[in-house]
Every structure is written in C-alpha cells, then in structure tokens.
C-alpha cells in the first residue's frame, strides 16, 4: 500500500509537471507564432514532399513572379526574384532556402529599396566616368565647331543670290547648330550639379511642366497628385527633368491609339524621413527589355535622331537631390517613370 501510495503521488507530480510543460509549450508556441507573424518577411515551412506545413502568409502574395515558380513551389530558384503586382508595380525579393530534417524552410525578404539604390549607384559611377570623357571631347570639339559656325554663317550671307548653293550652305549651318546643341548638352551632363532646393507643390508644378512641354491637345492628361504633395527640390533642375520625361512620353505615344498620361503620387518614409513617390504613366509603345537596362546611358536612345542625354541628365539631377528614378515598361502597353524625392513638409 505504501508503494502504491508513493507511486500514485509520483504519478500525480509527473502529471502536474506534464500539464505545466504543456501550458508553457503552448505559451511559447503562441509567442513564436506572434513573432513569426510580425517579422517583415514571408516564411514557409515545407515538408519532405514540398507541401506547406506552416506560413505567415496564408493568403499568398498578390501578383506573380516573372522569373520562375513561386517560392513555395518545386523548382523555385534562390537569390534575387522579380515580382510584379496586379497594378503593374515591380518589386524585388531575396529568396533563401534552408533544409531541415523533414523538408525545408523558405524565407522571402523584400529588398526592392536596396536593389533600386544599388542600381542607381552603379549607374552613377558609370555616368561619372562617361561624363569625364564626354567633357574632354566636348571641349576639344567646341573650338573648331565655333569656327565652322562662323564660316557657315558667312557662307550663307555670300550665297544669298544663288538659291541652289544657298540651300547647301544652310544645310551645313543646320548641321553645325545640331552639333553645337549636342556639345552643350554634353557639357551640361558632365558638369557638377549644385541644387538650390525649395518647396514645390507637385500638382501645380506638373501642370506648369505640361505647358512648358507643349503637349498636343489630343493627349489625355490625368493629374491625380494630391494637393498636399510636395518636393524639396531645385525648381529649375526638376523642370528640366519633367519636360524631358513628358516629351519622351509624347514621342513614345505618336501614332498610337488613345494617347494618355497619368500622374499619381503617394507618401512614403525612407530612412525615417518623409518622401513623395510620383509615377508618370503613358500609353506608348513601351521599351524593349534589352534596351531598358541601357536607358540611362549617355547617347543611347530608343528614338531615331535623339541625343540620348535626356534621361542621363535626369538621373544625375535626381541623384544630386538624394532622390530615386527608375522605369518600368512593357512593350505595346506603356511605360511608368518612378520619381521619389524628399518632401518639403
């Protein structure tokens, strides 16, 4: 009886300890699930057959991966993944896979901001090197070009009574003028920028830029920028960017059905500071994928006869303001230009 009583007492103690451990395990599991739900990345725990056992994104991701299967599917590649949301916005995720005894853990981190900044930094290094070379060439060309311009003007005056010869001389003069514009743009691209920022109300700023760009009346215009949206930026430099982007969009929509431009903006916080992210969308022919990676290179243009300096200069201006510029484009759909700059508020 004593042995039985002792056994019963020990069993009760074990039961109490078991129940206490179960309660503690339940609390720890709830805390772990709370932490996992709160982490800023998506996580999937898969079994040996690749079936999800647990995820903090049970609703999945609203959109599609453009470079292979989804992270929780078989054959999904690790590394940087390209994702597009239903509204056409591109995002970039870092995919990491870790094996377990009974499957694997898939971790998906949003690295869009870091990826875009790295892209812009790489472009800026390349543009600086190109700018130094372009400046040297431009200075060497400018002196003989000035002489050509002078003599071409004298030739046009001397040949005024001879219409046939005058036409040829005028063509020479026009060619010299185009070269002079190219040299001037090259020097603008290569010079150091010193912005003088002031508060810009974005809605009114883009309305003024529309007038300066001389857009045809047939192009639709939808300005959804909120009245409270502002940038802290140099108005002259940003006006140059805006006009160039609007004129590029106009050329991309030539001969297209229902040409239209749409402006939208949303507030964002970057490194704890307020910014406004503006998106300019057109309904043009779009940019081929193979050209998109070179679109900011000097002297590269998808338009015949273009100098290829507009976007390169725009990139340098945004960089000088501590801002960000990048493009999304689909052929036969259109192009979206993203501009993000610090808020004035």
CATH class of 198-342: alpha beta
CB 71 within 8 A of CB 55: no
Per-residue pLDDT of the chain (345 residues; tens, 9 = 90+): 788 778 777 888 888 888 888 877 777 666 666 666 666 678 888 888 888 777 777 666 778 888 888 887 878 888 888 888 877 778 888 888 888 888 888 888 888 888 878 877 776 676 666 666 666 777 677 778 788 888 888 888 888 888 888 888 888 888 887 777 677 667 666 677 788 999 999 999 999 999 998 888 889 999 999 999 999 999 999 998 999 899 999 999 988 888 999 999 999 988 889 999 999 999 998 988 888 888 887 777 777 655 677 888 888 889 889 899 999 888 888 999 999 999 987
Instruction: Report residue 56 as tokens.
Output: 């903090």
DSSP string covering 145-213, please? HHHHHHHHHHHHHHTTT-HHHHHHHHHHHHHHHHHHHHHHHHHHHHSPP----EEEEHHHHHHHHHHHH
- Own/partner pairs for 190-196, CB < 8 Å, 24+ apart? 190/131, 190/132, 190/134, 190/135, 190/138, 191/135, 193/237, 193/316, 193/317, 193/320, 194/320, 195/233, 195/234, 195/237, 195/317, 195/320, 195/321, 196/234
What's the CA gap between 138 and 119, in Å, rounded?
27
CATH 1.10.287 fits 114-190, yes or no: yes
d(CA 330, CA 327): 10
Q: Fill in the DSSP letter of residue 288.
A: -
**What dotted CATH number matches 2-111?**
3.30.450
The domains of the chain are located at: 2-111, 114-190, 198-342
């Amino acid at each position: 009886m004593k042995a039985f009583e002792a056994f019963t007492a020990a069993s009760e103690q074990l039961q109490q300890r078991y129940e206490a451990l179960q309660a503690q395990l339940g609390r720890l599991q709830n805390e772990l699930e709370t932490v996992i739900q709160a982490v800023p990345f998506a996580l999937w725990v898969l079994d040996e057959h690749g079936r999800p056992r647990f995820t903090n994104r049970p609703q999945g991701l609203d959109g599609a991966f453009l470079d292979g299967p989804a992270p929780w599917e078989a054959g999904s590649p690790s590394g940087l993944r390209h994702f597009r949301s239903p509204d056409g916005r591109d995002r970039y995720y870092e995919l990491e896979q870790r094996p377990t005894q009974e499957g694997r853990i898939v971790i998906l981190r949003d690295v869009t901001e870091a990826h875009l900044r790295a892209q812009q930094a790489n472009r800026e290094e390349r543009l600086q090197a190109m700018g130094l070379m372009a400046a040297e060439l431009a200075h060497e060309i400018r002196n003989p070009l000035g002489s050509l311009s002078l003599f071409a003007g004298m030739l046009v005056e001397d040949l005024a009574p001879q219409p046939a010869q005058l036409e040829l001389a005028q063509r020479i003069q026009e060619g010299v003028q185009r070269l002079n514009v190219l040299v001037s743009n090259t020097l603008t691209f290569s010079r150091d920028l010193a912005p003088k920022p002031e508060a810009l109300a974005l809605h009114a700023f883009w309305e003024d830029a529309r007038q300066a760009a001389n857009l045809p009346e047939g192009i639709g215009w939808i300005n959804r920028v909120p009245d409270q949206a502002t940038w802290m930026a140099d108005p002259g430099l940003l006006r140059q960017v805006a006009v160039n982007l609007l004129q590029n969009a106009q050329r991309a929509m030539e001969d297209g059905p229902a040409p239209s431009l749409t402006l939208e903006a949303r507030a964002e916080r970057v490194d704890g500071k307020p910014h406004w992210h503006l998106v300019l969308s057109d309904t043009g022919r779009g940019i081929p994928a193979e050209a998109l990676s070179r679109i900011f290179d000097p002297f590269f243009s998808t338009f015949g006869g273009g100098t290829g300096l507009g976007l390169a200069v725009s990139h340098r201006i945004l960089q000088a303001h501590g801002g960000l510029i990048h493009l999304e484009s689909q052929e036969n759909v259109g192009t979206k230009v993203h501009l993000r700059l610090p808020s004035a508020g």
